[in-house]
Structure 1
Amino acid sequence: MLDPYAKIAEVDPSVQRKLSESLELRAADQEMRTLVTSYLSRLNWSEGMEILEVGCGTGAITRLLAQGPGVRKVTGIDPSAIFIEKANELGEQECVEFVVGDGRELPFADQSFDVVVFHTVLGHVPSPEHFLLEAKSVLKKGGQIAIFDGDYAMRSVAIGEDDPIQACVEIMKKHNTQNPWLVRQLPAMLAAAGFTAIESASHPYLGKNPDYLLNYIERGADRLADLGRITKQTAAALKEEAHQRVRDGRFFGLFPFMSFLAISE
Structure 2
Amino acid sequence: MPDTSRHDAWVAGDSYDLYMGRWSRQIAPIFIDWLDAGEGRDWLEVGCGTGALSATVLARANPRSLLGIDPSEGFLERARAHVHDPRAVFQIGEAGALPVETGSRDVVVSALVLNFVPDRERALAEMRRVTRPGGAVGFYVWDYPGGGLGFVRAFWAAAAEIDPAAEELQENKRFPFCTPVELSALAERGGFVAVEARAIEAEAVFRNFDDFWHPFTLGTGPASGYCARLSPDTRRHLADKLAATLAPAQDGTLRFTTRAWAIRGRA
What's the TM-score bracket when you normalise by the shorter of the two chains?
A: 0.7 to 0.9
- Aligned partners of 2:155 and 2:242 also within 8 Å: no
- Aligned partners of 1:3 and 1:175 also within 8 Å: no
231-240 vs 94-103, greater mean Cα deviation: 231-240
| Residue of 201, 204, 207 corresponding to 1:207 | 204
- Aligned partners of 1:168 and 1:221 also within 8 Å: no
Q: What residue is the counterpart of 1:13 in the other structure?
A: none
Q: TM-score, normalised by structure 1?
A: 0.78
Runs of at least 4 residues off by over 4 Å: 4-8, 168-173, 175-178, 209-219, 246-252
What is the correspondence of 1:60-139 to structure 2 with a 5 Å cutoff? 60-139=52-131
| Residue of 169, 186, 189 corresponding to 2:186 | 189
Deviation at 1:253, TM superposition (A): 2.4
1:144 and 2:141 correspond: no
- Amino acid paired to 2:143: D
1:48 and 2:44 correspond: no
Deviation at 1:227, TM superposition (A): 5.9
- Amino acid paired to 1:67: A
1:179 and 2:175 correspond: yes
Deviation at 1:36, TM superposition (A): 1.9
Deviation at 1:73, TM superposition (A): 0.6
- Aligned partners of 1:149 and 1:183 also within 8 Å: no
Q: Deviations over 1:106-155 (max 9, x none)?
A: 11110010111110001111121110000000000001111111011222
- Aligned partners of 2:15 and 2:215 also within 8 Å: no
Secondary structure, in 3 states, of the residue corresponding to 2:35? Answer: coil
Deviation at 1:256, TM superposition (A): 2.1
- Amino acid paired to 1:196: V
User: How far apart, in 2, do the equivalents of 1:70 and 1:83 lie?
Assistant: 23
- Amino acid paired to 1:206: E
Deviation at 1:191, TM superposition (A): 1.2
Over 3 Å counting, the alpha-carbon distance change for 1:71 and 1:44 in structure 2 is same
Q: What residue is the counterpart of 1:23 in the other structure?
A: 17
- Amino acid paired to 1:132: L
- Amino acid paired to 1:167: A
Over 3 Å counting, the alpha-carbon distance change for 1:172 and 1:57 in structure 2 is farther
User: How far apart, in 1, do the equivalents of 2:225 and 2:191 lie?
Assistant: 41
Deviation at 1:82, TM superposition (A): 1.4
Q: What residue is the counterpart of 2:258 in the other structure?
A: 255
Over 3 Å counting, the alpha-carbon distance change for 1:169 and 1:108 in structure 2 is farther
RMSD, aligned CA: 3.5
Over 3 Å counting, the alpha-carbon distance change for 1:221 and 1:192 in structure 2 is closer
| Residue of 158, 161, 175 corresponding to 1:167 | 158
User: How far apart, in 1, do the equivalents of 2:146 and 2:84 lie?
Assistant: 37
Deviation at 1:157, TM superposition (A): 4.4
164-173 vs 44-53, greater mean Cα deviation: 164-173
Secondary structure, in 3 states, of the residue corresponding to 1:206? Answer: strand
- Aligned partners of 1:200 and 1:260 also within 8 Å: yes
Q: What residue is the counterpart of 1:12 in the other structure?
A: none
Over 3 Å counting, the alpha-carbon distance change for 1:157 and 1:187 in structure 2 is closer
Deviation at 1:28, TM superposition (A): 3.7
Deviation at 1:67, TM superposition (A): 2.0
Over 3 Å counting, the alpha-carbon distance change for 1:69 and 1:60 in structure 2 is closer
User: How far apart, in 1, do the equivalents of 2:6 and 2:200 lie?
Assistant: 25
Gaps of 5+ in 2: none
Q: In percent, how many aligned pairs have the same letter?
A: 23
